[in-house]
Structure 1
Amino acid sequence: MLRYFLIAILGISCVNLFCQPPKFAQSPSDAEGLLAKTKALYDTPFRSGLINFSCAIDFDFAQHLKSNFGEAARTDSPIAQLLKPIRYRIFVDRSGATVSAQPKLPDFSQLPLAAQLEESNRDLMQVGLSNWVPYAYGEVLPIAPTNYQFEKTATGYNLSMDGQGITGKLILDHDLRVVSGIIDTSQHIEITTKFVSAPKGLVLAASSTDTDHAGVARFTYTYQVVDGFQLPQRVGLTSEQNKMTLNYTLTDCKTQHGIVVHVAPSTKP
């Protein structure tokens, strides 16, 4: 009898804990409510009036050489002497980030290797903030008319998405923070994320991306308040493919912003 009792208990446990089919949101309105609740947790400045911003880039080239090439890296070499004085400014809007030299790049005709290194550094600076933009715009979570579905799991939710040119699945914890995901657009992208609380909502503190063409890249962010918006202050980037690490600080930031007007849907039949 005890044997059959134990089997019955184990069977009930299996039904209750492991053998149930996945739990999905019961109706479109349930899914809409859960998505709205999720989106409300995040600080998305590009949906809160921010149009664009630009900042000076504080980049310690000598430290960059030592971090990537060791203490023996020569900071007095001709290449280093040519690259150290370059000053940059970055412009960021919903489409991504663009870095430009101020006032212009030096003449690299005598040192083509310096031109390659400068371009690589500038590209990494751009990637550092271009990675941040989709989170600041709220594009990581589904935007209409993308179809989506929540599935309750033991650790939170799976959020599946299917739209024009994009499919994917995000893993959310119990607090609706995005933890990781797989996104397929023109390429296959695997992401991990870490969010921290800020006055206007969750902001991205760290993330990684893994793509077929660029390998794994890791990012870190700290923040500053500019004109009421939480913007990155310190950006860190490590590219495993290029074996390069780059860190920089944003200063003298200027924003363009407007007023967001929320229009309620019509109640007329």
Structure 2
Amino acid sequence: MTIGVIGGSGIYDALPLENVRTESISTPYGEPSDAVTIGELAGREVAFLPRHGEDHRHPPTDASYRANIYALKSVGVDRVISTNAVGSLREDLPPRTLVVPDQLFDRTKHRSPTFFGDGMVVHMGFADPYCPALAAHLADSAREATDDETKTEEGGTYVCIEGPQFSTKAESEFYRDQGWDIIGMTAIPEAKLAREAELSYATVAGITDYDVWKEDSEVSLEEVRENAAANRKSINAVVEHAIRTMPDDFESEAWTALEGTINTPPEAIPEETRERVELLAGEYLE
């Protein structure tokens, strides 16, 4: 197995990887956010990629989501642990809580959500955006690897906004009225692309703020950074534990997600498109 990890550089720094190497990978979808760092942990190969680049150069809208997922797929990753900093839409989910969501709501506007197109139509099922098996494993790891003071919430809806600005108060109240639980800027299109690439994908999110709906707690970059730093220790512990205890018999329905989803006859797909998606869908186009 090769386990992919997408997150901040603080996670990579904390993972006790051995036999480390880096690979700079070019993809048909441009350059990834950074080089892929590959090493070994507890006998498992781990491939790490910082979503925003090592120095946080790429804003949420412009992060290289397609290239990042493609790069991980190209080095043999079959499951991805994602980490996110998020705001809370619930009073009972305070900052420094960990959440393993099971649903997503897409409020982004300017991001490329698919690897396909250009003469190839794919209608991918996405009812359950996070792999249930991997999400359950992450939730178990969160409960087992953190101290009693760290609250873990299993399940919930992550609403992904465009950013880079935070919400207006009207937007924040609307999201709360829908019954959604956490808000962030980076789950989409990453989760959609992981499914198209047939990767098992789930996330552990660390709450940094109450967004702007709470009168006595309006979100600021200073608050986000302070609580993100406090969350980092817990998230690092969860990711390491999840890797060490990953079941050898792990199975995911995501690994065959493309089956029956390609609506264009293979012979009608332009050759240039076929070449571009060979890594992702080649076996379905033979």
| Higher normalized contact order (CA 8 Å, seq sep 6+, divided by chain length) | 2
The higher radius of gyration belongs to 1
Q: Relative to total residues, which structure has the larger strand share, 1 or 2?
A: 1
- Alignment TM-score > 0.5, same fold: no
Q: Relative to total residues, which structure has the larger helix share, 1 or 2?
A: 2
TM-score by length of 1: 0.23
